[in-house]
Structure 1
Amino acid sequence: MVGDLYTPKNLHGKAAAIAVSGPFGAVKEQSSGLYAQTLAERGFITLAFDPSYTGESGGEPRNLASPEINTDDFSAAVDFLGTKSNIDRDKIGILGVCGWGGFALNAALADPRIKAVATSTMYDMTRVMAKGYNDSVGTDERYETKKKLAEQRWLDLQDGKPAYTGAINVDPKKIDASTPQFVAQYADYYRTPRGYHKRSVNSNSGESGWIVTNPISFINMPILAYASEM
């Protein structure tokens, strides 16, 4: 994984640290970098990182996501922070933004080294992929989706490479009153100079989108299965 480390000015002794990632499909130069910078200004050492298989982080095939991998990304970030001599290992926390909020909570449940967890505008990616927006997808429709995704695995095997969803082509200039609020806000950030970045899947910067079969692992692996143990 590749990340940007932010250190407060005039730091003395060991400091608390926070690993930051998200939103889903974004890169460290976007929202997570802003959160990391702001938290560093308040005295924390912070790490904004690109999730595995996206941005500058390694991994093939590109633009792969899964609850298990992305949950462990936070633990990998904690691994790194714990190696720094100016960080107190007993004061490492994580922050998940939007779709990464769920992964952050998942990671905090699984990894006792994470002493604090916070989310910002949390979004449960496993739920939306399994049940659709506003829980609009029922059991029968979900089963048909799983069959199509399973068939896509055969096609990927035949082609020798994964198929991609294609860019999410939302033109900010064509947004009007009928555009769903989350789509309008998405386009206003990722598709304009304010938030655009060439490596971001969300910015549709010539990338091919997500791997078509990504939802398989999300549909079948709900996050926060043991939230009561937190």
Structure 2
Amino acid sequence: MNNAQAIKFKNIAWDNAGVLYFPPGFSEDEKYPVIISMHPIGSCKEQSAGNIYGAAMAAAGFLVLAFDASFQGESGGSPRNIENPHQRTDDVRYAIDYLLTLPYADADRIGILGVCGGGGYSLNIAMTERRIKAVASVTGVNYGRLMRDGFLGNNLISALENIADQRTNEVKGEELLMLHYLPASIEEVKKAGITDTDVLGATDYYKTPRGNAPGAAVGAVYSHLSASIGWDAFHLCETLLTQPLLIIVGNRTGGFGAYRDGYEIYRRAASAKKELLVIEGFSHYELYDHPEAVKQALKKAVPFFKENL
């Protein structure tokens, strides 16, 4: 058997596309601990969550599922490129339903690992999806907080009114409007005089051959962003987030806020067993694929999941 296999699983009214990564020496007659690997905002299963962390965790002995979020990549749902935190987290329930139809997936040993926005989603869904037994967040970001603090400006009421107007206009026949998270190229970043570490890192990752992939939108439909403004990845974590928890961040901070979010969830989570790893000298986007940053993250994540699954 190949070490990776394309699959699909049923969601509410469409299919999600994913990739199963198999451990070495895989046998359908054995049962394996499972990890769901969630991709960042605007990303896809072929990027960091799949070809970096998913492949590495499989090589360490886990059965891993990386999948495209609903409305994104090769998954179903229309209109395309919606980023709705409620759906993004609910996708995980359907992913687990699918995994538990596989005779070699151990129902009692399911973990979740998320990168960037996927990290925030992983922390959130674990609160109410009790089939998840352990959670790791790699440079995780609270998407709702980021939208309120950054991408939609300072006046949230004005932003919500604009979103409502745009949605009404689209119902009347106007084309969908995309919110693009990043400049189109490194050249545009330089022209604009942008120096923020995260914007530079994101553009270098998503807009160059380093990380670019066809399924990555790096943007979202503007008229569907109102749900994200009222959403908080950490809501009720003091009560409901009790699973073993590993938070990994880099200490080179940027405007997207993974460093501050990492410290916040570590402090607030109810988990009796929790650890915060700060990787010195690396930034948010270096944790996506920089060999040394990823090596340090995996050095902690692999034994974490082996101990807790």
- Scaled by the length of structure 1, the TM-score of the pair is 0.89
Residue 164 of structure 1 is matched in structure 2 by 178
Choose from 21, 40, 53 the match for 1:23: 40
Matched, 1:5 2:23: no
1:222 corresponding residue in structure 2: 232
Q: Are 1:152 and 2:162 an aligned pair?
A: no
Query: Aligned partners of 2:148, 2:194: CA distance in 1, in Å?
Result: 25
1:80-159 correspondence runs (5 A): 80-132=98-150, 137=154, 141-159=155-173
What's the CA shift string for 1:73-104, capped at 9, x where partnerless?
A: 11221112111111110001111110111111
- Comparing 214-223 with 17-26, which one deviates more in the overlay? 214-223
The residue identity in structure 1 corresponding to 2:138 is S
Most deviating of 173-182 and 21-30: 173-182
Match 1:39 to one of 48, 51, 57? 57
Which has the larger share of strand? 2
Alignment-mate amino acid for residue 216 of structure 1: S
Aligned-pair identity (%) = 35
Tell me by how many angstroms 1:171 deviates.
1.5
SS at the partner of 1:89? strand
Quote the Cα distance in structure 2 between the aligned partners of 1:197 and 1:120.
20
Instruction: Give the counterpart letter for 2:235 in structure 1.
Output: A
CA deviation string 1:169-211 (max 9, x = no partner)? 3322455574211111011111111211122112xxxxxx421
SS state of the match for residue 80, structure 2? coil
Aligned to 1:182, the other structure's residue is in SS state helix
- What amino acid maps onto 1:83 in structure 2? T
C-alpha distance in structure 1 between counterparts of 2:225 and 2:61, whole Å: 38
Three-state SS of the structure 2 residue aligned to 1:78 is helix
Unaligned runs of 5+ in 2: 1-15, 242-309
CA deviation vs aligned residue, 1:89-137 (integer Å, no higher than 9, x gap): 000111111011111111100111111111100111101112326x973
- TM-score normalised by L of structure 2: 0.67
Contact 2:112 2:136 in 1 (8 A): yes
When residues 184 and 160 of structure 1 are mapped into structure 2, their CA distance, relative to the original with a 3 A threshold, is closer
RMSD of aligned C-alpha atoms?
Answer: 2.0
Find the aligned partners of 1:187 and 1:88 in 2 and give their Cα distance: 39
User: CA contact under 8 A between 1:74 and 1:94: conserved in structure 2?
Assistant: no
In 2, Cα distance between equivalents of 1:136 and 1:156: 22
